[in-house]
Structures are given as structure tokens and as C-alpha cells.
Amino acid sequence: MRDVLPEQIPAWERLEGTARRLAHGCGYREIRPALLEETRLFTRSVGEVTDIVQKEMFTLVRGDDSFSLRPEGTAGTVRAYLEAQYHKQAPFQKLYYIGPMFRYERPQKGRERMFTQFGVECIGSTDPRLDAEAIDLAAGFFEALGIPRADGRGGGLEVRLNSMGDGADRDRYRDAVRAFLLPTIAEHCELCRSRFEKNPLRVLDCKNPRCQELNAGAPRILDFLSAENRAHFDAVRASLADLGRDSRVDAGIVRGLDYYTRTVFELHYPKLGARSALCGGGRYDHLVRDLGGPDLGAVGFAIGFTSTLLVLEELGLLGELAAKPADVYVAALDAALAREALQVCAELRRGGLSAVFDAEGRGLKSQFKQADKGRHPLVVVLGPDEHARGAVQLKHMARGEQREVPRGELAAAARAALGS
């Protein structure tokens, strides 16, 4: 398990802050769904035969009850939506979340058992402009962090788009793929032969060169879309163009979760290699109905913070981030002034400043080193001579200037020194 340590918090706050700002800009409101759900919620929504449900859930069984840590955010969000009765009062809801997800698998670069996702779920409409808006929001998130757009040579961020059609389209497509593969399936790799049985569409994703040759000329899902779904897909692309957003149709995108319909998309940073997808999402027009509500359209995405941070690190975009230190470091010349140090800190805090004191018994020189290393802009020195006069020394570290100020004026003087 990986912890987020204080040194990394500025980077995380930047991701969270960017996510919130952009989501709010599109009218999304934050929701914090439960981390623990009934296992049945995920088997019903994500799908019985998906990898997530079959082998990646952390599940706790107590008697007849079975609960699982959420492996993704959409199911819980829709469950919360229905439980809050939004579908009766105000069915159109734009909701976003930032929080941990859990999948039991072998960790590797960009993949962890506990990871954080920023996701949005727009429930209550099938308007294709919302698909485009969501894609633009996701891409805008990465751009706001400084990740460049695709440059056509494998650098930058790529938007890949596809449509999976609706249930009927997909059934016809699956039959066509099966018919296409049947004559050559014996020549495919072992893995593909087993995939052919349970999910022939996955054969098309195989990276084996021989299999790819055999897959050339395979039917494309886009050719099997109903007129209505085709129109929806075209409208999404037109809206993306209206937003000035380039996208590439990638017939290979077949989202792994059962609830997806029509629009599916991924955002990739190809230089990351095997694990290049930074964001995945799409439309799930029947999930609300499948979970017991009315048949409402919905679209959403999820962005992984782990891989986002990986990209930012690779691009050197995290270097300058540092936590803000306390305004004042209070140094005491000897142990007799220890109590005064605490009092002075309290006075400064009442004056609206942050302040810290030495608690390791350091000498004055060492306290200055600490103040310097901690990048505290101001140091207050408590000495016996000043104490006798009811005063303290106030030093501005960057300027190297120091002067004596009466105790009673310290907070005001410190504020003034900081402000200038």
C-alpha cells in the first residue's frame, strides 16, 4: 500500500483543486458515495463476467451478507442517486467524486490496489453534447495541469473515441465477429482461442503480431450501429469539433464493464507505454434502470490520479510544488525561555500568523538552521536581555534584517514584515 506523505500533498492538492474547479465550471456538484457497498451492486452493474467482479474485488462476507470495497465509482453514485430519490424530483444531475477505489490485483507501475479516481457522472439525459462536454472536461483537466495535447508523434494527450452501440447493435456485431474469426481461429494464439469462446471481441485486442494479421479486415462496430446510434455518435463528434477538441476514432476501444452503451472513450498518454490510459469513460444509458430506477441516459468518466501523477513527474511539472511553511519560527536562546516561546507562538497565532517553536532542545545556531531549512520567512529570537526589556528580536530571513520590537507589537510587526 502506498501512503501520500506530507511532501506529496501539494501535488495532490493541485490535482484535487483542478478537478473541483473544472467540474464546478460544468455545473457538477460533489458527491461522496459510500466506500463499502453490497457486493450485489457491482455484480449487477459492472457485470458478472468482468475481471473486476470475477477476481479484483475486496469482499467481506459476514453470515449471509456480502460487502465489497468499491472497485469503481459509477455504480455507487447511481445507487446513491436513486436512494436520494433524485430521479423523482430532479432527475438531471451532474455529480463528481474524488476518492479511493480498491481492486485486488498485482500492483505495478501506474496500478495500485488502492488508488484514487476523479470521476464525473452526468445522469438524466442522452444529449450527445454532454458526451462531448465530459470528454472536453477530462481533457481540460490534463491540460490545466500542463500536459500538452497530442502532437501526432506519440507525445501529448490523445483522445480516442468509439461507439459500442446499444444491446441489439452489439449482439449483431458479436455474431459478425464470431463469423469472421471462425475460419482462422485455429491459427490464433492460445489465449485468443479461449477468448473466442467467452468474448470474441477481445480477440481483436490481441497484441500478438500473427493474430493482428488475422484480424485485419475484421468487422467494425461502427458499421453495425442503428441509425439512431449512428446519429448520436456523429453528433458527439460534431460537438467535440465545436469545442475545438481533436479526437481519433479507435474501433479497438471496448470498455471492460458491462454497463457501457454507445459512446466510449479513453484519454491516452502514449509515452507511458503499457499503462497509457489516463482516463476512461462513456455512456451507460440503462444502468439507472438496471439498478431499479427509470430508464435514464447517463455519461461519465474516471481519471486515475496515480497515472496522472506519473505523467506530471515525467514531464517535470511537479518540481516547484512545496508546502507552505509556518510564517514564524520562534527561537529561544536558553531553556529558561521555553515557556515564553510557547506564549509568543500563541500570540502570533491570535494575530493571524502561523508559528512554530523548537522542541528538540537545539542551540540557537541550530534553531536558525532549522528555520532556514524549513523556509520560514521570519524568525523571532527570545533572549534574556530582550526579555528583561519586554521585547524580542524579529528577523526577516530573506533580507537578513533584524530589529528589536516590543512584545506587544510583535504580531503587527510580523504581519507588516510579511506583507512587504
* Binding positions for RNA, rule: CB under 7 A: 1-2, 51-52, 55, 103, 105-112, 115, 117, 191, 195, 202, 205, 207, 254-257, 266, 273-275, 277-280, 302-304, 306-307, 333, 362-366, 368-373, 379, 381, 383-386, 393, 395, 397-398, 400, 402
Least distance between RNA and beta carbon 294 (Å): 25
Q: Given strand 36-38, what is the order of strands in its sheet?
A: 36-38, 65-69, 59-62
Of 185 and 235, CB closest to RNA = 185
What is the distance between the alpha carbons of residues 218 and 199, in angstroms, rounded to a whole number?
15
Of 206 and 243, CB closest to RNA = 206
Least distance between RNA and beta carbon 231 (Å): 26
Q: Which residues pair with 59 in a beta bridge?
A: 68
Of 87 and 337, CB closest to RNA = 337
C-alpha cell at 210: 500473427
What is the distance between the alpha carbons of residues 260 and 40, in angstroms, rounded to a whole number?
18
Q: Which residues pair with 331 in a beta bridge?
A: 381
Least distance between RNA and beta carbon 38 (Å): 21
Residues for the chain: how many in total?
Answer: 420
Least distance between RNA and beta carbon 227 (Å): 28
Exposure b/e, 33-68, CB count within 10 A at least 16 = b: beeebebebbbbbbbeebebbeebbeeeeeeeeebb
Of 87 and 414, CB closest to RNA = 414
3-state secondary structure of 371: helix
Least distance between RNA and beta carbon 210 (Å): 13
Of 128 and 200, CB closest to RNA = 200
> What is the sign of the dihedral through the CA atoms of 307, 308, 313 and 319?
negative
Least distance between RNA and beta carbon 118 (Å): 9
| DSSP code, position 319 | T
Of 124 and 383, CB closest to RNA = 383
Please check whether residue 178 is in contact with residue 224, taking contact to mean a CB–CB distance below 8 angstroms: no
